[in-house]
């Protein structure tokens, strides 16, 4: 059987984005982000876009460790 991590290796994530109400009148609303691994069902939440992008660039916490075990 072929190694599932051999190139081309890819993961499929479902990205959910939603807007929360502004905490104070006149302030900007907050955006929230959630990634779901469609294979394992694992979820990761992010309070801003920067954290989401950083996690994707670093391989998403927990994803690499789960696959190696």
The whole-number pLDDT of residue 52 equals 93
Average per-residue pLDDT in the chain?
Answer: 81
d(CA 14, CA 1): 28
Beta strands per DSSP E along the chain = 13-20, 30-37, 43-46
The whole-number pLDDT of residue 4 equals 66
Of the two residues 66 and 29, the one the predictor is more confident about is 29
Average pLDDT over residues 40-54: 93
Give the model confidence (pLDDT) of 7-39 as tens digits: 767 788 999 999 998 778 888 889 999 999 998
- Residue 54 neighbours by CB distance under 10 Å: 13
The whole-number pLDDT of residue 35 equals 95
Angle at 38 between CA 34 and CA 44, to 5 degrees: 25
* 8 A C-beta contact, residue 47 and residue 32: yes
């Amino acid at each position: 059987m072929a190694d599932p991590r051999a190139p081309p290796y890819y993961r499929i994530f479902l990205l959910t984005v939603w807007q929360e109400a502004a905490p104070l009148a006149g302030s900007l609303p907050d955006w929230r982000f959630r990634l779901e691994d469609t294979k394992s069902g694992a979820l990761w939440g992010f309070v801003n876009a920067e954290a989401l992008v950083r996690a994707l660039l670093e391989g998403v916490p927990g994803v690499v460790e789960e696959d190696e075990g």
